[in-house]
Amino acid sequence: MFASVIIDQDTKALDKVFDYKIPDKLELQKGMRVFVPFGSRILQGYVIDIKRDTLIDENRIKNVIAKIEDFPVIKTELLELMNYMCQKFHLRQTSVLRLFLPAEMREGKVKELFEKYAILNDCYSKNDFKRAKKQLLIIEKLESYDKVKLSQLKKEFGESAVKALINKKVIKLILEKINRKPFSINMQDKFIKLNDQQKKAIESVGEKGVYLLHGVTGSGKTEVYMRLIAKVLQENKNAIMLVPEISLTPQVLSTFKARFGDKVALLHSSLSAGERFDEWKRIFSGEAQVVVGARSAIFAPIEKIGIIIIDEEHEQSYVSESNPRYVTQDIAKFRANYNSCPLVLGSATPSVDDYEAATNGDVKLIEMPVRANGKPLPQIQIIDMMNEIRAGNSGIFSTQLLSDLAKVINQKKQAMIFINRRGFSSFMMCRECGYLAKCNDCDVSLVYHKEDNRLKCHYCGKQYKALDKCPNCGSDRIKQGAVGTEKVVAELHNIFPDVKILRMDNDTTSKKNSHQKILAEFSSTKPAILVGTQMIAKGHDFEDVTLVGIIDADQSLYRSDYRSTERCFQLITQVSGRAGRSQFEGKVDLQTYSPRHYVYKFASNYDYKGFFKKEINLRETAKFPPFSKIIRILFSNINENVVKSELKSCYNKLLKVREKFYDDIIYMDAMKSPVKKIKNSYRYQIIIRIKLHNSQLIENEIFACTNEALKSSVFFEVNPENMS
Ligand code: ADP
Ligand code: ZN
Ligand code: ZN
């Protein structure tokens, strides 16, 4: 028998299947990991097939050396998923397979954890211990408990008594595997009586198919998800529940743990290596039945899936933005299809693409238009910041926002202030000569962080001394750019010196549990103001938040991206959704410099449908997705000449493709990327826009043109989330 093996080396040259002979004594199955000889080395590989014949010559073929684990680590469904992903996203087999395993397992660094327990041997006589009081107590304890942790016995009765009993062979030690628990909670499960809207939503989810649950913020989607999962568990099937990484707050995790207990496995980035490994194993063995996690939990080795749920389905983070690039929703569709189970996509602001699919009937639409607390959504007031400037207020905050903040503070309630930029100010620039502080390794301006008085690159993390003088002309007239979270906090401190003001962004949450700490502190302080980036926009459910301030909503609007208006609408709705979630009504102050943009009219009325209609018409006219596909091929390399020449040869081949499909290719051009250097790598790109007709075929041909770029790293994206 022969094994088809994929070598675990992520290089283009080894992205093939190699045949090996299976020695007679070795029992192999599809999905196992093995050691194989490769050239003069021994490498790890995955067995993806077992077969009777091979085309390799009998005396040239080499033997599989050994298996790494004695069970298949990659289950059949995932092997099929690998094939699908390689085709759909143009990925290498190894890089896909690696997604399916915890890195800890591949590197062999983490071991299972065992605990020593003491149990009684069969033959002993208590009479022998009349004079050894402690030893007798140990025996009695073991008689009533069967087994006790060795460490606990030693602590309770002392080392020598325990040792004595071991030596006399009265007790013996056994090893038991223990699971590292990523999360301990003491939250009570909240009993919720479903309202009619929720009941209807639950009944609408059928045996299979894709469902879009469009429910306003606070409509009680979480309860719907949990009931759907409970139903599936009753049928003895399993569930996957995905939540964006930044919404995976302790609050959210606890809600699921409280309801489903040990049946839940958690997979997210703040687990330690050991914890992730153990959770993965619990899923693999079938012990855990509900997987709750971020994007990569879609690869969980769980079988008999009865439902897959993606919360906040519109979130950008469901697309992996580094290699290997994949779109989580597509993978969820594959797995739902494979398991004949429903896929539920939930959001208060569905992506335009998915809502379009729902109006076409490919996806079934379920609506929850009312908040569970029966209260209206918070009123959104649009504040024209140009007016403020005309009235002589050039500060960060409008008069309205300041007076609303004062009210909140008086009433001992809470406010959240959203600003989509961390740091103090976005750049430092010389007023005399125009010098702009930039990162040496990346082509981006540096962000000033006042706390440590340094300039930081948000692309590579490199830090520089802050400017007091212009290094170019020596002038000390240094200008600071647009504000960030740090500056907002500083200003608020000046205005409300006695109020607790907390900050939550990438800088304040880098330590483990710091996220949790900030939220806990906020939740227990009244009045208080929480200032933050995207991180505060989602998932939080604080009863006493009655005011949300959005500092400059325009930020997300002026990116050169066809989705920027959509993103802006989503952001306003999500952030606004944090206010007025319990019995207290909420309000939102939205500051903008372009108040007449259509997105604000629709967003402030919570008119998703109106927004969608406008947006989809614009996209259709301009032939943007979902009415076309945008393909970006990004080349990068340390050596600029290498990138340029590989880009050029790719482009020349693409010209032939364009000739062949002249009517279907709307646009094609090669250029420097907007950020032309990151971490010293030069970045060039080709952008192509194609009609949907024949698009898969054309996409494949376009991809084939990238094959000769061997030195540059090539990143192939369809409808990229980010064009920088
Ligand atoms: P969403 O995810 O749709 O934004 P949540 O699931 O967070 O909303 O629910 C918002 C709040 O409403 C939560 O505090 C939740 O406990 C509560 N809630 C949900 N369903 C009900 C219900 N049927 N009756 C009363 N309160 C509910
Ligand atoms: Zn200068
Ligand atoms: Zn940098």
Could you tell me if 718 and 672 are in contact, meaning their C-beta atoms sit under 8 angstroms apart? no
Q: Is the CB of 217 under 6 A from ligand 1?
A: yes
pLDDT at 185: 61
Handedness of CA 603, 604, 606, 610 (dihedral sign): negative
- Our answer on whether the CB atom of 227 is closer than 6 Å to any ligand 1 atom is no
- Round to whole Å and give the CA distance between 628 and 618: 13
pTM of model > 0.95 = no
pLDDT for residue 405: 97
Separation of 245 CA from ligand 3 center, angstroms?
24
Q: How close is the Cα of 421 to the center of ligand 1, in Å?
A: 30
Best residue among 199, 202, 222 to mutate for probing ligand 1's pocket (most ligand atoms within 8 Å of CB) is 222
Cα(614)–Cα(620) distance, integer angstroms: 10
Establish whether residue 626 lines the binding site of ligand 1, counting it when its CB lies within 6 angstroms of any ligand atom.
Answer: no
| Distance between CA atoms of residues 493 and 450, nearest Å | 14
| Order of strands across the sheet that contains 41-51 | 18-21, 2-7, 41-51, 33-38, 66-67
- Phi, psi values for residue 532, rounded to 5°: -165, 170
CA-wise closest residue to 6 among 99, 93, 101: 93
Beta carbon of 539 within 6 Å of any ligand 1 atom: no
Tokens of 675: 């950020």
Q: Residue whose CA is closest, atom 1 of ligand 1?
A: 218
User: What's the pLDDT score for residue 179?
Assistant: 67
- What is the C-alpha separation between 611 and 622, in angstroms, rounded? 17
Proximal ligand: closest to the CA of 443: 3
Single out the residue of 646, 548, 630 nearest to residue 589, CA to CA: 548
* Amino acid occupying residue 668: M
Among 345, 389, 387, 414, CA closest to 587 = 414
Q: pLDDT at position 378, please?
A: 93
Q: Is 491 in the pocket of ligand 1 (CB under 6 A)?
A: no
Ligand 1 center from residue 195 Cα (angstroms): 10
Residue 395 to residue 415: CA distance in whole angstroms: 19
Element spanning 658, H or E: helix 640-660
Give residue 680 CA to ligand 3 midpoint distance, Å: 8
Ligand nearest to the CA of 456: 3
Bond into 342 cis (ω within 30) = no
Q: Cα angle at 689 between 687 and 693, to 5 degrees?
A: 150
- Kindly compute the dihedral angle of the four CA atoms of residues 566, 569, 575, 576, in this order, to the nearest 10 degrees: -160
Binding site membership of 192 for ligand 1 (Cβ less than 6 Å): yes
Cβ–ligand 1 distance for 198 under 6 Å, the answer yes
Q: Which atom of ligand 1 is nearest to the CA of 219?
A: 3
Tell me the C-alpha distance between 20 and 224, whole Å.
50
Cβ of residue 349 lying under 6 Å from some atom of ligand 1:
no
The finding on whether 22 has its CB within 6 A of some atom of ligand 1 is: no
Distance 534 CA to ligand 1 centre (A): 21
Is any ligand 1 atom within 6 A of the Cβ of residue 580?
Answer: no
Half-sphere exposure (CA, 13 Å, Cβ side) for 93?
A: 19
- Residue 195 CA, closest ligand 1 atom number: 23
Provide the CB-side half-sphere exposure for 191 (13 A, CA). Answer: 0
Ligand 3 centroid to residue 405 C-alpha, Å: 37
The pLDDT score that the predictor gives to residue 560 is 63
Does ligand 1 have an atom closer than 6 angstroms to the CB of 638? Answer: no
Are the beta carbons of 85 and 65 closer than 8 angstroms?
no
CA of 371 to the centre of ligand 1 (A): 8
Low-confidence ranges of the chain (pLDDT < 50): none
Ligand nearest to the CA of 469: 2
- 683 bridge partner residues: 636
Cα separation of 390 and 253, whole Å? 47
Q: Over the Cα atoms of the chain, what is R_g?
A: 30
Which ligand lies nearest to the CA atom of residue 455 in the structure? 3
Is the CB of residue 91 less than 8 Å from the CB of residue 99? no
Structural tokens at position 19: 């045949």
What angle in degrees, to the nearest 10, is found between the helix axes of 608-622 and 564-576?
A: 170
Task: Give the whole-angstrom CA distance, residue 110 versus residue 105.
Answer: 7
User: How many angstroms separate the CA atoms of 524 and 459, rounded?
Assistant: 35
Q: Phi/psi class of residue 694: alpha, beta or left (left: φ > 0; alpha: ψ in -120 to 50)? A: left
Ligand index nearest the alpha carbon of residue 476: 2
CA distance 241 to 309: 5
Which residues surround the ion ligand 2 when the cut-off is CB under 5 Å? 430, 432-433, 435, 470, 472-473, 475
Ligand 1 atom 21, closest CA: 372
Ligand 1 in reach of 311 Cβ (< 6 A) = no
Q: What is the rounded end-to-end Cα distance, in angstroms, of the chain?
A: 50
Distance of alpha carbon 18 from alpha carbon 6, whole angstroms: 6
* 312 close to ligand 1 (CB < 6 Angstrom): no
Whole-number Å distance between alpha carbons of 365 and 372 = 19
**Residue whose C-alpha is closest to residue 245's, from 11, 534, 581:** 534
Token pair 């790293």: residue: 713
- From ligand 1's centre to the CA of 153, what distance in Å? 46
Alpha-carbon span 698 to 418, nearest angstrom:
42
| 626 preceded by a cis bond (ω within 30 of 0) | yes
Q: Closest ligand 1 atom, CA of 198?
A: 23
d(CA 155, CA 145): 16
In angstroms, the CA 246 to CA 240 distance is 18
